[in-house]
Amino acid sequence: MSYDICSICGRFYAKDGQSYCGECRDKDKKEFNKLRTLVKQRPGILAFEASNQTGIPINTIMRYVKERRIYIAGDGKDSGKIYFRDTLPEDSRKRRWTND
């Protein structure tokens, strides 16, 4: 059996093709769903506000951006606002996004 190191908590886990151990995967799924619910209710909420309201660490939210699971406005008046692909504003093609 081969093992890997969880990229979130650093623990060893049986290699299963995922980057995270089962425990972190479960926690990640719950946090992501909580964030998704909030952003669906308030598209364009600032990342730090979402962190404060959900209790999800800002570094976790930024990991979601890096993994292209969410989008964050990178410039202008909308800088720092987060969106999911289905909540992007109409004029999103004219804007810069940090993970484009």
Given a contact cutoff of 8 angstroms between Cβ atoms, the answer to whether 1 and 14 are in contact is yes
Q: How much is the pLDDT for 89?
A: 66
Q: Which CATH architecture has domain 28-94?
A: Orthogonal Bundle (1.10)
Q: Name the nearest CA neighbour of 99 among 77, 68, 54, 75.
A: 68
Domain map (residue ranges) of the chain:
28-94
Mean predicted lDDT score pLDDT of the chain: 84
Neighbours of 88 (CB within 10 A): 16
Radius of gyration of the chain (CA): 15
Q: Above 90 in pLDDT, residue 71?
A: no
Model pTM score: 0.78
If one compares 74 and 39, the residue with the highest pLDDT of the two is 39
Q: Above 90 in pLDDT, residue 26?
A: yes
